[in-house]
Every structure is written in structure tokens, then in C-alpha cells.
Amino acid sequence: MDRWDKIFITIILALLLAFAMQARGTSLVVQGQDGCQPYWQQWAMNATARLPEASWIVTPSAATIANTSAETLYAVSHGYYGQMHQQCGDSLSASDLGRQQFGFAFYAMCDGMCSTARDTFADAAVDSIGYCDMAEAYCLDCWYGHALPFQDQVFQGLQQGLEPGAAYDAAMNSHPQCLPCIRYYSNPVVEVPPPPKENIVIATIIPILIMRGN
């Protein structure tokens, strides 16, 4: 193997590393309040443990969420498809988010996915999973016995390389009690955010450093 073969292989490996970093991405876990106290602790803990490079924040400002560079958003709070309620802080409107802001979002809000129209939370991600009518009587079985293991199975599926829709289907097969209460939506309009600039820099610099070392 000559010098140029080594350089070529090094470049390919660096590009693969950059793409792997992009695929993994980062996550923002948002925990809301109930009665001005942090609530749904187990839900937020599970999302933080399962999602890639997750940052967990409680009752953030609307600007913090709207300006995040995270690839994945998880939100557990009171709210509906147009607004996440923060009883002792800023409420976040779905219209505050960009249409191509997230690759994947999970909205653990009672009515977070009851609509997928323009300027709803579903419109802010390429793929979304979320609740609808979770506070209704027919969803009590799902909420108390299946909602948390359902999301855990979704996140495990994503870790194993499943697409969000396939991860949703697998979790729903295990927890059919949640079929009327948890929805999946794939947005045909929103595009996946471009790779971060730092990934391109890494892919460029690594081969140069190796060449200098030789």
C-alpha cells in the first residue's frame, strides 16, 4: 500500500466518522411543570438516558427551546399542538419553532399531536411522535400502564437504527392500548437540517494532520 492509498483510506475513514457524528446528533429534553413543580420526572429521565447526547432542562425559556441546535427534541409538559404550557415560566408556541428545526421530536403532551397542520409542533420536525387526547378516559390505561414503556421502546428502536416510523410501529405492537392516544407523523415538507459545519471541518483536518505526521 503506497502513500496515496493510505491518504485515500484516511479520508474515507474521516468522512465516515463525520457522518456517524451527524447521524447521532444531539438532543434536548424539556421537562415542564405541574402546579409550579417539576413533574413527569421518570419520563424526562428515560428520554435523557436513551436519546443521543441529551441535555435535560426544566422549565426553560421559550427562547432556549426555539434557538437550540439540537437534532432531536423531547418535551413532556402540559400543552396541546399549538402551545406547550409553562405554569411558572414562558409558554412555548409551536410557531416559535422553525419548520426544519428538528429531525425527530417526541411530544409527551396531552394533546401535542392532535393536529399536524402548519405552525403546529408536528410541523417543526421531519418525524414526530406525540400524544392526543391522553387526558381522556379512554387513554387512562395507556397513560398509567403503557406510555412510559412505549416511549422507552421507541427510543430503543432508534438506538438500534430503526427509522422513527418503524420504531413507533414496533412499540405500538407491544402496547396496543396506546393506539388511540399516541400518534406518528412524517412531515413531507420539512427537510433534514444540514450537517453541522464542525463535522465538515473534522473531515478536512484529520487527513491533513495524519499526512503531516508521516
Q: Which domains does the chain show, CATH number per domain?
A: 25-190 (3.40.50.1460)
Distance, in Å, from the CA atom of 103 to the CA atom of 139, rounded to the nearest integer, reads 27
Contact between 167 and 108 under an 8 Å Cβ cutoff? The reply is no
How confident is the model at residue 197, as a pLDDT?
Answer: 55
Question: What pLDDT was estimated at residue 24?
Answer: 45
The predicted pLDDT at position 164 comes to 97
CA 149 to chain centre: 17
Averaged confidence pLDDT in the chain: 82
User: Which of residues 182 and 17 earns the better pLDDT score?
Assistant: 182
Task: State the pLDDT at residue 196.
Answer: 58
Q: What local confidence, expressed as pLDDT, does residue 96 receive?
A: 85
> In the prediction, which pLDDT does 209 show?
47
**pLDDT band for position 120 (cuts 50, 70, 90):** very high
Q: Which of 15, 24, 6 is nearest to 202 (CA)?
A: 15
| Segment of 11-15, 35-39, 201-205 carrying the highest mean pLDDT | 35-39
Mean pLDDT of 158-186: 97
- Pick 164 or 206 by higher pLDDT: 164
Higher pLDDT, 108 or 18: 108
Global confidence as pTM: 0.76
Largest CA distance in the chain: 70
CB atoms within 10 A of CB 63: 11
- Position 2 scores a pLDDT of 64
More confident residue, 81 or 189: 81
% of residues, the chain, pLDDT over 90: 52
Per-residue pLDDT reduced to its tens digit, 70-114 = 999 999 999 999 998 766 666 788 988 888 689 999 999 999 999
Give the integer Cα–Cα distance in Å for 148 and 77: 14
| pLDDT level of residue 7 (50, 70, 90 thresholds) | low
* Whole-number pLDDT of residue 65: 83
